[in-house]
């Protein structure tokens, strides 16, 4: 039971204007077993404590050498069951891959196998410290080295940097290596070309690194315009950043030709490899002329992400760039042990641009990703890509008869199916359909991205969903689509059944209240 609290917190009453979907309101704001929960600061009190501590003897010698705290720190006290309930209730208000289908396109929300979790918790991996002597953590260094080896083999590229901590961080790593390579040959360049269908992180990365970003248009088939790229290529172009498969869910067929043209003017090719899930084991980006590419371990190799854990974005490099990769690197020595190279001595030729992180990277993700690779094997990883593509095409072909599918005629899609909101009635839009899907029990797909499609809806089922779960989703999706086409006004108020009704999207993004403020600050 929620304790009364000094802030006068009141649960939001879940009563809809039409009264259609809700019974009488409850005094607690709870609905059946769907429990409301205030902030921990609102249910706990700084004056109370959850444990009984011995009284402090005022005459006892001071064990903290004068560094003991003199002011209260203002943390709230709750009993253990109150604390457990608080966090359990909050966790029930979230939606995760362990709860249901999570079709968020471009994000590859696949199941995280429990075997990975078991391995990551082995004390030899979980209880080590980044500053431990190298001889004492040889197994961990071997994991980093072997994972890097797998990544180089799968991509057909000769260099790898393991330390970047997310996809966008990997992009920055790749772009900094490109700049280091140009700087090393005294050839400063200013421009990075980015297709208009690119993930937002691509132009942001290039701008953050100090480059001028120029857009390259897409063709009506949803691919990068080869002729437009060729026309713009000149000696001021440092790099092109291309996502392949691209964010329309299509394979860039002209990639090799684009790469050759970029190289011919002395530029480098950055490939956003976040969508590697669609091609792993089938295509080696190194064969396409890629110079640097990040891989999201938290997408392709099943490590948790979003609320579930940190990401990891290792970067693979071509022969031309590998010496510019960041430190540290793990090397195998002549006697089959592993060493962590923290700085470049005379022993290691190289022109590293520096570091991306203080330490080696996300160890917890490395153990999980390598477990995933070893448990699938090379053939299994190939099947991952094939099944992911099959599932996405199943979604595309099951919905294209009622939902606008702008590139359905461009051939099969890769690992995600793209739709638009054309023909929705009654002023309804993609947002309304997404909110109605929440009432059906689904986390919505990615919406309004990529920008090249009006009211875009990007659905990525991944290979880990069964046909039964995809069929159920398609049934729900068809039903909300039919309502949208018919202009069902009630969708404008959706969601009806979620713990919160529709939020003000603009206020939530522009003026979020992220810090708790005591409504009655004590004097
Ligand atoms: C997810 C994603 C990124 C960014 O990766 P983060 O780990 O979220 O930083 C970049 N590009 C594409 C295409 C993505 O899907």
- Using alpha carbons, select from 434, 408, 427 the residue that is nearest to residue 505: 434
pLDDT greater than 50 at residue 325: yes
Q: How far is the CA of 168 from the centre of ligand 1 (A)?
A: 6
Q: What's the pLDDT band for 472 if we cut at 50, 70, 90?
A: very high
Angstrom CA distances, 95 to 92, 99, 149, 498, stand at: 8, 6, 35, 11
Angle value at C-alpha 109, between 108 and 111, nearest 5 degrees:
120
Please list every protein residue whose CB sits less than 6 Å from any atom of ligand 1: 106-107, 166-168, 199, 201, 243, 247, 272, 274-275, 296, 311, 313
Please check whether residue 399 is in contact with residue 417, taking contact to mean a CB–CB distance below 8 angstroms: yes
- Above pLDDT 90, what percent of the chain? 73
- Residue whose CA is closest, atom 12 of ligand 1? 274
Please identify, by atom number, the ligand 1 atom nearest to the C-alpha of residue 198.
13
Q: Is the dihedral of CA 97, 100, 103, 104 positive or negative?
A: negative
472-501 mean pLDDT: 94
Specify the residue with its C-alpha closest to ligand 1, atom 4.
167
Of 41 and 140, the structure prediction assigns the larger pLDDT to 140
The predicted structure's pLDDT at residue 6 = 44
| Position 14 confidence tier, pLDDT thresholds 50, 70, 90 | very low
pLDDT at 335: 94
Rounded Cα–Cα distance for residues 59 and 455 (Å):
71
Percent of the chain with pLDDT over 70: 94
Q: How far apart are CA 437 and CA 445, in angstroms?
A: 9
Where does the pLDDT of residue 19 fall: very low under 50, low under 70, confident under 90, or very high at 90 and above? very low
Q: Which residue's CA is the nearest one to ligand 1's atom 2?
A: 274
pLDDT for position 306: 78
Full-model pTM: 0.89
Q: Which residue has the higher pLDDT, 262 or 197?
A: 262
**H/E element holding 121?**
none
pLDDT tens digits along 487-498? 999 999 999 988
pLDDT digits (tens, 9 = 90+) for 329-388: 999 999 999 999 988 764 555 689 999 999 999 999 999 999 999 999 999 999 999 999
pLDDT of residue 93: 83
391 pLDDT higher than 50: yes
Q: What are the E-state strand segments in 125-282?
A: 159-161, 191-195, 212-216, 237-243, 268-272
Instruction: Give the pLDDT mean for 207-211.
Output: 97
Integer Cα distance of 213 and 84 in angstroms = 49
Instruction: Please check the confidence at residue 178 and state whether its pLDDT lies above 70.
Output: yes
- Mean pLDDT across the chain, nearest whole number? 91
Q: What is the mean pLDDT of residues 141-153?
A: 98
What pLDDT was estimated at residue 213?
Answer: 98
pLDDT by residue (tens digit) across 274-309? Answer: 999 999 999 999 999 999 999 999 999 999 987 767
Helices (H) and strands (E) in the chain, counts: 14, 12
- For the cut 80, the answer to whether the pLDDT of residue 7 exceeds it is no
Within 10 Å of residue 153's Cβ, how many Cβ atoms?
13
Residue 123 alpha carbon to ligand 1 centre in Å: 31
Please report which confidence band the pLDDT of residue 54 belongs to, taking 50, 70 and 90 as the band edges.
confident
Mutate to test the pocket of ligand 1, among 195, 274, 452 (most ligand atoms within 8 A of CB): 274
For residue 294, the CA-to-ligand 1 centroid distance in Å is: 9
How many whole angstroms from 393 Cα to the centroid of ligand 1?
Answer: 22
Nearest partner of 256 among 276, 229, 281, 231, judged by Cα: 229
| CA 389 / ligand 1 centre spacing (Å) | 19
User: How many residues does the structure list for the chain?
Assistant: 523
User: Could you identify the atom of ligand 1 that is nearest to the CA of residue 166?
Assistant: 7
pLDDT, residue 53, reads: 81
Kindly report the protein residue whose alpha carbon is nearest to atom 8 of ligand 1.
167
Distance separating the N- and C-terminal Cα atoms of the chain: 30
Task: Please give the number of the atom of ligand 1 that sits closest to the Cα of 272.
Answer: 11
Q: List, for residues 426-460, the tens digit of each pLDDT value.
A: 999 999 999 999 999 999 999 999 988 999 999 99
For residue 11, pLDDT over 60 is answered with no
């Amino acid at each position: 039971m929620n304790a009364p609290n000094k802030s006068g917190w009141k649960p939001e009453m879940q009563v809809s204007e039409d009264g259609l979907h809700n019974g009488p309101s409850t005094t607690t704001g709870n609905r059946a077993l769907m429990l409301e929960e205030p902030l921990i600061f609102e249910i706990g009190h700084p004056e109370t404590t959850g444990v009984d501590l011995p009284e402090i003897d005022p005459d006892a010698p001071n064990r903290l050498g004068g560094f003991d705290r003199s002011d209260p720190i203002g943390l709230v006290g709750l009993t253990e069951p109150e604390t457990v309930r608080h966090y359990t209730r909050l966790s029930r208000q979230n939606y995760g891959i362990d709860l249901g289908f999570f079709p968020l396109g471009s994000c590859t929300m696949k199941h995280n196998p429990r075997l990975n979790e078991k391995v990551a918790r082995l004390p030899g991996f979980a209880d080590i410290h980044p500053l431990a002597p190298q001889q004492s953590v040889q197994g961990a260094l071997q994991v980093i080295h072997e994972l890097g080896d797998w990544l180089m083999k799968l991509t057909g590229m000769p260099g790898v940097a393991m330390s970047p901590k997310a996809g966008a961080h990997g992009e920055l790593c790749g772009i900094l290596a490109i700049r280091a390579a140009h700087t090393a040959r005294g050839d400063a360049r200013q421009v990075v070309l980015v297709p208009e269908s690119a993930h937002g992180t691509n132009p942001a990365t290039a701008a953050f690194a100090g480059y001028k970003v120029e857009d390259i248009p897409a063709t009506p088939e949803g691919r990068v315009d080869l002729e437009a790229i060729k026309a713009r290529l000149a000696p001021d172009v440092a790099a092109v950043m291309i996502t392949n498969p691209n964010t329309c869910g299509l394979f860039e067929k002209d990639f090799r030709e684009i790469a050759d043209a970029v190289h011919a003017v002395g530029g480098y090719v950055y490939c956003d490899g976040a969508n590697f899930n669609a091609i792993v084991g089938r295509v080696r980006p190194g064969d396409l002329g890629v110079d640097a590419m990040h891989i999201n371990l938290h997408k392709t190799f099943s490590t948790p992400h979003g609320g579930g854990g940190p990401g990891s974005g290792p970067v693979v490099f071509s022969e031309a760039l590998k010496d510019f990769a960041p430190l540290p690197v793990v090397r195998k020595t002549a006697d089959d042990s592993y060493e962590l190279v923290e700085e470049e001595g005379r022993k290691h030729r190289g022109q590293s641009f520096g570091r991306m992180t203080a330490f080696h990277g996300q160890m917890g993700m490395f153990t999980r990703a390598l477990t995933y690779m070893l448990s699938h094997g090379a053939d299994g990883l190939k099947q991952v890509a094939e099944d992911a593509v099959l599932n996405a095409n199943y979604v595309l072909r099951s919905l294209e008869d009622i939902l606008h599918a702008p590139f359905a005629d461009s051939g099969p899609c890769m690992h995600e199916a793209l739709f638009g909101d054309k023909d929705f009635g009654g002023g309804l839009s993609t947002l309304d359909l997404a909110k109605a899907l929440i009432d059906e029990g689904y986390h919505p797909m990615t919406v309004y991205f990529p920008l090249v499609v009006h009211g875009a809806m990007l659905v990525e089922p991944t290979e880990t969903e069964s046909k039964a779960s995809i069929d159920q989703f398609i049934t729900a999706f068809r039903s909300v689509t039919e309502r949208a086409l018919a202009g069902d006004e009630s969708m404008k108020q959706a969601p009806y059944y979620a713990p919160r009704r529709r939020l003000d999207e603009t206020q939530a993004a522009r003026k979020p209240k992220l810090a708790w403020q005591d409504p009655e600050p004590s004097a």
